[in-house]
Amino acid sequence: MSSKPRGQFLDRSTPPNIFTLILLAGISALSMNIFLPSLPSMTAHFDTEYSVMQLSVAVYLGVNAVLQILVGPISDKLGRRPVILGGMVLFLLATLGCIFAPNVTLFLTFRMMQAAVVVAMVLSRAVVRDMVPADEAASMIGYVTMGMTIVPMLGPVFGGLLDQAFGWQASFWLLFAVGLLILVLTWADLGETKQSSGLSLAKQFREYPELLTSPRFWGYSLASGLSSGAFFAYLGGAPFVATNIYGLSPALMGLYFGAPAVGYFIGNFLSGRYSVRFGINRMVVAGCAIAAAGIGVLILIVFGGAGSAELFFGMMTFVGLGNGLTIPNATSGALSVRPHLAGTASGLSGSIMIGGGAGLSALAGALLVPGSGPLPLLWIMFATSFAGFLTILAVIRRERRLHL
């Protein structure tokens, strides 16, 4: 546990206030989904196919995953503050590029550059682990991510409304304005929480085998990645389901699209409240089980012919609830396997989660075609959620055998 004092707001000589960490995590999440209701109008604007425009999700997640591998060791070496500030500046420049891109190729290029904002999400969690021990970190990460869900929950709603009123670029202008404000706040409030590791960057990267050979690290990372995989598949497929299957307008789609975030908010609140009491393993088991059960019930409903937009999106709250229980606790578990490598572990576990998410997002977009209905998406979501449940059970079983 760090000996540093708790943060004093707007004091760069102390660790950051939790409000700053919430906003840093929030801007990363907001950039992922605010523009999704605009995908149909962006497809028309750039005169391309929906599957090409949908790559704005997949390529963003793919670059996001690669950057997370680099961000952790660099921040363990150089500190959290300079890496976060640098990433935010790159994000702002890339956002301007998206707004003024003359064709879809340049748009997707700048969209990939926008993934630099991932430093805000990865390192806000590492900062928490710098400040407090494992169980308390799970609780604090739960509160941070609970707060951040308010932003992406409202993001698609505003994105849909902005698209109808001003066009698709308005969502990116909002991202730029919010990102600039958060950059200024972070500069004023974020004190350094990580002392230099004393290792060169090359040696820092060579610390990866210490994590990669840890079964516990893989167990927690895969439990988080597989459980959240259902949500990333949702990101790739839900816009198609909403517009092509249920005929929702951009504004109404934006309203419905935030359903998982409602569950995610509740799940993170429960994580913040009960992780210390029940332990991270039990919380992860509950989260994976709830997500898988919710999707399983929805599959049965669709098979029974009772599917509707309200039922489809309403049941997605269980995916959000499950992820809200799983992700903070599994993340804390992964970061606590080697506490001195918290930044590296945060980046690597996040890369596993986001990299898998990019593939699932692209797969969902590819499998959903006119006439397919929502079942291809639902089967992907169920399979990944259930696999996460099996993974955390394997972690628990191994821990019990080691303690016999």
pLDDT digits (tens, 9 = 90+) for 105-118: 999 999 999 999 98
Q: What share of the chain is helix, strand, coil (3-state, %, to 5)?
A: 85, 0, 15
What integer pLDDT is reported at residue 152 of this predicted model? 60
What integer pLDDT is reported at residue 199 of this predicted model? 60
User: Which is more confident, 341 or 378?
Assistant: 378
| End-to-end Cα spacing for the chain | 28
What integer pLDDT is reported at residue 198 of this predicted model? 61
Contacts of residue 255, defined as CB under 8 A and 6 or more positions apart, other chains included, come to 156, 157, 160
In a domain, 283, yes or no: yes
- CA separation, residue 267 to residues 49, 106, 223 (Å): 36, 38, 16
At residue 274, what are phi and psi to the nearest 5 degrees? -120, -5
In a domain, 3, yes or no: no
One-letter amino acid at 256 equals Y
Q: Is the pLDDT of residue 146 over 80?
A: no
What integer pLDDT is reported at residue 134 of this predicted model? 59
Asked if 31 and 153 count as a contact pair (C-beta separation under 8 A), the reply is: no
Cα–Cα distance for residue pair 159/173, rounded to 1 Å: 11
**Element housing 109 (H / E):** helix 104-114
What integer pLDDT is reported at residue 5 of this predicted model? 44
- HEC per residue, 54-93: CHHHHHHHHHHHHHHHHHHHHHHHHCHHHHHHHHHHHHHH
User: Which is more confident, 371 or 143?
Assistant: 371
In a domain, 81, yes or no: yes
Q: Is the pLDDT of residue 3 over 50?
A: no
Cα–Cα distance for residue pair 328/398, rounded to 1 Å: 21
* Mean pLDDT value of segment 189-201: 69
Q: What percent of the chain has pLDDT over 70?
A: 88
**213 CB burial (10 A radius; 0-12, 13-18, 19+):** exposed
What integer pLDDT is reported at residue 153 of this predicted model? 63
In a domain, 9, yes or no: no
What integer pLDDT is reported at residue 59 of this predicted model? 85
**291 CB burial (10 A radius; 0-12, 13-18, 19+):** buried
Token pair in block for residue 83? 């890496």
Any idea what the CATH number is for the domain that residue 229 is in?
1.20.1250.20
Q: Is the pLDDT of residue 262 over 90?
A: no
Q: How many Cα neighbours within 13 Å face the side chain of 49?
A: 6
Cα–Cα distance for residue pair 167/370, rounded to 1 Å: 26
Contacts of residue 245, defined as CB under 8 A and 6 or more positions apart, other chains included, come to 373, 374
Q: Is the pLDDT of residue 6 over 60?
A: no
Judged by average pLDDT, the poorest of 2-6, 42-46, 382-386 is 2-6
Cα–Cα distance for residue pair 291/233, rounded to 1 Å: 13
Q: What percent of the chain has pLDDT over 90?
A: 29
What integer pLDDT is reported at residue 315 of this predicted model? 94
pLDDT digits (tens, 9 = 90+) for 175-192: 999 999 999 999 998 878
User: Which is more confident, 358 or 42?
Assistant: 42
User: Which is more confident, 392 or 152?
Assistant: 392
Asked if 7 and 144 count as a contact pair (C-beta separation under 8 A), the reply is: no
What integer pLDDT is reported at residue 2 of this predicted model? 40
Give the chain's domain count.
1
Most confident of 16-20, 129-133, 388-392: 388-392
Cα–Cα distance for residue pair 50/48, rounded to 1 Å: 7
What integer pLDDT is reported at residue 133 of this predicted model? 66
In a domain, 314, yes or no: yes
* Cα 60 to chain centroid, rounded: 12
Structural domain containing residue 246: 18-195+204-402
Asked if 61 and 231 count as a contact pair (C-beta separation under 8 A), the reply is: no
Q: Is the pLDDT of residue 242 over 80?
A: yes
Asked if 72 and 348 count as a contact pair (C-beta separation under 8 A), the reply is: yes
pLDDT digits (tens, 9 = 90+) for 89-101: 999 999 999 999 9
User: Which is more confident, 166 or 57?
Assistant: 166
In a domain, 316, yes or no: yes
In a domain, 253, yes or no: yes
Cα–Cα distance for residue pair 21/2, rounded to 1 Å: 17
pLDDT confidence of 231, banded at 50, 70, 90?
confident
Cα–Cα distance for residue pair 164/149, rounded to 1 Å: 24
Cα–Cα distance for residue pair 368/380, rounded to 1 Å: 11
Mean of the per-residue pLDDT values of the chain: 83
Asked if 58 and 236 count as a contact pair (C-beta separation under 8 A), the reply is: yes
What integer pLDDT is reported at residue 1 of this predicted model? 38
pLDDT digits (tens, 9 = 90+) for 70-93: 887 788 778 888 999 999 999 999
What integer pLDDT is reported at residue 319 of this predicted model? 93
What integer pLDDT is reported at residue 342 of this predicted model? 67
Q: How many other CB atoms sit within 10 Å of the CB of residue 149?
A: 27
User: Which is more confident, 386 or 123?
Assistant: 386
Q: Is the pLDDT of residue 311 over 70?
A: yes
Longest dimension (CA), the chain: 63
Most confident of 19-23, 194-198, 298-302: 298-302
